[in-house]
């Protein structure tokens, strides 16, 4: 018997409250992945080296020296994975295109790589699943990094060329509901060029600030081509956000919390929605202002149809002196295996604050929310109790924000599959679906079965 067809519904394990606006039929539910984390096949069909291939090959950069060379072997098993999405009953699938797979060093198309994404989109369309396509989820072609990467202004223009190519080549394939320029430019800029935790592994706050500017400039430069080539789709960007809370109710700690939110949220959102960088950022990073040319901010603040928000946790902050902040690790609170605190109320608090702070806030999509845990198959099943409770609580928090007027239109769980979790290798499991990386066997976790039951009941209702 198909476990999803079981008469004993598990929907209550994850479902939003009965009166939740998330239960509307036009609310989009989905799941997400990214190219380097699942595809593998890093040397097939003309794919070039990416910065993550190079980073993984550098000793000491990734836990246990693991790489994305095989990952979930999605490049060969994509039909099986689309069948999993269909079994779940999701409305949409969020995935990213591997830039090194679709363009050569001269900027010309790589047909076999592009054909893979055409097949993927067609397969989604055949299954009635809409696509949310991300152009950049961190796997920059290494040849561009060799010329400076996101520190080189020219990369922003090359990104616009790439966006133009893909939106033209993939036109007419599947049902692309949304194009996303960048996933989490904060991570690309700060983790990649500021603290070195991610590829390309550079360490300079000044470099991080300049990389961010060129990432956002690339976003603005890409929008006209996306609108021209895919006028029926939405066009936007995805930011990772987190609320900051003061450790104590002192002016100094409240200022520390505000500085954190400037660094984590406003560094990305102010340029996009206000056309300026937050002045408070340079209190933290004195003398690190990027080179901004005339007209750049007008390009960056071009209107977007939606804003994707990736939410996982919160931060608690205290002052460590003037213009300096410390992160506080609260004891005796629930955490995930990423050591992130589970704090669903933070989603509601932050979403409502963004609505207040940005009068021009576009419609929101939760483009990532989920958690990592130590999941294992026992008796053919994976009972991921913590993830079930995590999703249910965050669905409820999103529901409260929506009831208070925040315009949230969709919610994507991260991730469809256990996958390559960047510098943590394969140790941290975020998937709705358990992957045995030796056999590539997929097993739907209990959270996935509950999600499927909820979606089926919503569709029937």
Short-list 113, 213, 92, CA closest to 162? 113
Per-residue tokens: 216: 């956002």
The three-state secondary structure class of 170 is coil
β-strand partners of 309? 239, 366
Six-digit token pair at 66?
A: 């693991």
Q: For residue 266, what are the contacts with CB-CB under 8 A and spacing of at least 6?
A: 278, 280, 281
Query: How far apart, in whole angstroms, are the C-alpha atoms of residue 249 and residue 251?
Result: 7
**The tokens of 419 are what?**
């996958």
Q: Which residue do the tokens 């901004």 mark?
A: 292
CA distance 316 to 248: 9
Between CA 176 and CA 230 the distance in angstroms is: 9
Residue with tokens 């901010």: 297
Catalytic residue among 368, 381, 427, 438: 368
- Tokens 């400076």 belong to 148
- Residue indicated by tokens 């100094």: 252
Rounded-to-integer distance, Cα 414 and Cα 362, Å: 22
CB atoms within 10 A of CB 283: 15
- Let me know if 368 is a catalytic residue: yes
Judge contact between 380 and 429, C-beta under 8 A: no
The neighbouring-strand residues paired with 36 are: none
Strand order in the sheet with 244-246: 244-246, 315-319, 325-327
In three-state secondary structure terms, 367 is strand
Q: How many CA atoms lie within 13 A of 216 on its CB side?
A: 34
Contact 275, 304 (CB under 8 A): no
Burial degree of 16 (CB within 10 A; 0-12, 13-18, 19+): buried
The closest of 406, 402, 417, 305 to 362, measured between CA atoms, is 305
Task: Give the integer Cα–Cα distance in Å for 209 and 59.
Answer: 27
DSSP string spanning 20-80? -GGGSTTSEEEEE--HHHH---TTSTTPPPBHHHHHHTSTTSSGGG--SSSTT-HHHHHHH
DSSP 83-114: HHHHHHT-SEEEEE--HHHHB-TTS-B-HHHH
Residues marked active site are found at: 368
């Amino acid at each position: 018997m198909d476990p999803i067809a079981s008469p004993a519904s598990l929907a209550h394990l994850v479902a939003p409250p009965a009166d939740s606006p998330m239960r509307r039929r036009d609310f989009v539910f989905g799941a997400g992945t990214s190219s380097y984390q699942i595809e593998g096949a890093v040397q097939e069909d003309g794919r070039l080296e990416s910065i993550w291939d190079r980073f993984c090959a550098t000793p000491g950069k990734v836990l246990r020296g693991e790489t994305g060379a095989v990952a979930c072997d999605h490049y060969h098993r994509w039909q099986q994975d689309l069948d999993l999405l269909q079994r779940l009953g999701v409305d949409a699938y969020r995935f990213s295109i591997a830039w090194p797979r679709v363009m050569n060093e001269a900027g010309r198309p790589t047909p076999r790589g592009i054909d893979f994404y055409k097949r993927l989109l067609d397969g989604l369309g055949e299954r009635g699943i809409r696509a949310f396509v991300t152009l950049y989820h961190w796997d920059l072609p290494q040849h561009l990094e060799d010329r400076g990467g996101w520190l080189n202004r020219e990369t922003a223009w090359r990104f616009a060329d790439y966006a133009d190519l893909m939106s033209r080549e993939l036109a007419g394939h599947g049902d692309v509901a949304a194009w996303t320029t960048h996933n989490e430019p904060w991570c690309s800029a700060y983790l990649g060029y500021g603290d070195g935790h991610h590829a390309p592994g550079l360490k300079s706050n000044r470099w991080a600030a300049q990389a961010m500017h060129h990432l956002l400039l690339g976003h603005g430069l890409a929008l006209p081509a996306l609108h021209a080539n895919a006028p029926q789709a939405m066009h936007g960007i995805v930011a990772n956000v987190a609320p900051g809370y003061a450790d104590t109710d002192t002016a100094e700690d409240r200022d520390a919390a505000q500085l954190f939110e400037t660094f984590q949220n406003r560094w990305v959102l102010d340029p996009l929605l206000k056309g300026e960088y937050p002045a408070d950022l340079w209190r933290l990073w004195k003398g690190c202002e990027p080179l901004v040319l005339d007209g750049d901010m007008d390009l960056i603040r071009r209107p977007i149809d939606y804003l994707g928000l990736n939410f996982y946790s919160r931060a608690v902050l205290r002052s460590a002196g003037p213009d300096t902040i410390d992160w506080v690790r609260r004891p005796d609170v629930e955490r995930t295996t990423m050591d992130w605190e589970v704090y669903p109320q933070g989603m509601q608090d932050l979403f409502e604050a963004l609505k207040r702070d940005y009068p021009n806030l576009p419609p929101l999509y939760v483009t990532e929310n989920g958690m990592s845990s130590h999941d294992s198959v026992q008796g053919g099943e994976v009972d991921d109790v913590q993830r079930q409770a995590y999703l249910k609580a965050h669905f409820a928090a999103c529901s409260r924000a929506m009831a208070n007027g925040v315009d949230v239109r969709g919610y994507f769980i991260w991730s469809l599959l256990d996958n390559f979790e960047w510098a943590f290798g394969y140790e941290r499991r975020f998937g709705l679906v358990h992957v045995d990386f030796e056999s590539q066997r997929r097993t739907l976790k209990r959270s996935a079965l509950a999600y499927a039951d909820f979606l089926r009941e919503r569709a029937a209702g």
